[in-house]
Amino acid sequence: MTKVEFTIPGKAKAKGRPRMTRRGRVFTPQDTIDYENYIRVCYQQERGEVFLEGPLCAQVIVYHKIPKAMPKYKQVKALDGTMLPTMKPDLDNVAKVVLDSLNNVAYSDDSQIVILHVERHYALKPKVVVMLEELE
């Protein structure tokens, strides 16, 4: 049973919706493509060629930077976990971009994921932590 954990430094981005040209051509926005490539690079730098097989459990934890305008007493609550962020981007869209980008890199297809846990917290520096585990 293999476990893999890696970090994506920086602000989390959501999967962009497919766009359509006037001629009916559908395409993925460039910022989504760039972020997916960044996720692949982060995985390969930390985990190398680890490839997972069979059913998988995935955990995605999004850490948002504490806003500068937040009062000090709320910053303390944010860092100790008693105050949780409710902000954009939507968690389901963050999980989608992360899991889609790992197709053919960490696993064959994200349809292998049978358990998914996604959450968000405050932190001093923004990042996304991804944990993948093979199930028996």
Could you tell me the residue range of the domain that residue 56 belongs to?
3-134
- Regarding pTM above 0.85, the answer is yes
Q: Which residue type sits at 68?
A: K
Q: What is the CATH number of the domain that holds 25?
A: 3.30.1330.70
Buried (b) or exposed (e) across 3-37, using 16+ Cβ within 10 A? ebebebeeebbbbbeeeeeeeeeeeeeeebeebbe
User: How many domains, the chain?
Assistant: 1
pLDDT in tens, 12-59: 999 988 889 999 999 888 999 999 999 999 999 998 888 999 999 999
Q: In sequence order, which residues have a C-beta less than 8 Å from that of residue 127 and are 6 or more positions away? A: 7, 8, 9, 10, 63
pLDDT tens digit string along 89-108? 999 999 999 999 999 999 99
